[in-house]
Structure 1
Amino acid sequence: MDTTNTMTAGLTGGTQIPLGAHLVTPRRGYTHHGIYVGNGRVVHYMGLSVAWRRGPVAEVTLEQFGAGREVSIEAEACAAYTPIEVVQRAQSRVGEDAYDMLTNNCEHLCTWCAHGVSRSAQVDRLLAWPRRIAQDALSLFGTVFATTAARRA
């Protein structure tokens, strides 16, 4: 899921937000995610959203979720569940307090609600860089080792 592919129009000016919509709002260095559950309410993993302190999954107002920042709708590719099921899945997690930035964050929650798979594109991008360096280092080591072994033979 690419958070750059969002719809931003209308969340400030009376446009109806679809039930079960995956919402995003920018934070310093990342985007925060939540599920719109109707009546101006959003379920999200509070995680590090408040003063970098760990928090549980909570249902809050749209204004609290946005915290004064722009809120947009994540363009979803074919959710596995109906909007009502997405809402039910989100609300079933309210109170959960097992936040982990790499394995169970607000984006993991939202993708699980809509697709049944717990994923975070932000974490994937973050971890891709060290993985790539490790792969390149191993490849270089293998090349150097093979060259050295060939010279000795």
Structure 2
Amino acid sequence: MNTQDQQQDDYLPGAHLVTERNGYVHHGIYAGNGRVIHYAGFCHALHAAPVEETSLAQFAHGHSVAVKAEPCACYLGMEAVARARTRLGEDHYHLLTNNCEHFCTWCLLGQARSEQVDACLRQPRAAVQTVMAMVRALLASIGTGTGTGLTAA
């Protein structure tokens, strides 16, 4: 992945943003003014979530954010943002066929693809390791009360 760490003011609308998580990379489209459109999926909680527009801080969830270069993008800038906004509220997340990376590549390239899914399918052992890392992270978040979608009373 060719990424470049940047400050919020440096992000251009339509930029493909990525943030490392436990065992995977989360993807979003920068919409401008500190806002990101992304398929929330399971990025913050144990329940699926729709395509949403959130703040950059909510998208990052305490992790660093970088720009993923898309040299073959067919849709640039506000055109990519407009494509992303057409899917706001869509709630058909599927880890293997319609995840946050599929969403971003569709916005920019016109074709839904996921390098992460493709890599896991090519290397099943790596896929098992990735799933185990995600499970450990989810179990840890349950133990601390974060990431479950539940709040303490």
User: For the superposition of Structure 1 and Structure 2, which TM-score range results when normalised by the shorter chain?
Assistant: 0.7 to 0.9
Secondary structure at the counterpart of residue 33 of structure 1: strand
1:31-85 alpha-carbon deviations (Å, 9 max, x no partner): 0000001110000000010123210000000000000100000011221013111
Q: Where does the alignment leave 5 or more consecutive residues of structure 1 unmatched?
A: 131-153
Q: Residue 109 of structure 1 aligns to a residue in which SS?
A: helix
Structure 2 gaps of 5+ residues are 125-153
The aligned residue for residue 10 of structure 2 is: 16
Q: Which moves more between the two structures, 113-122 or 80-89?
A: 80-89
Deviations 1:80-126 (A, max 9, x none): 01311100000110000000000000000000000000000000000
What pairs up with 1:1-153 in 2 under 5 angstroms?
4-8=1-5, 10-11=6-7, 15-130=9-124
- RMSD between aligned residues: 1.1
TM-score, normalising length: structure 2? 0.78
Q: Which amino acid aligns with 1:128?
A: R
Which amino acid in structure 2 is aligned with residue 27 of structure 1?
R
**Aligned positions, number:** 124
TM-score by length of 1: 0.78
Aligned residue number for residue 151 of structure 1: none
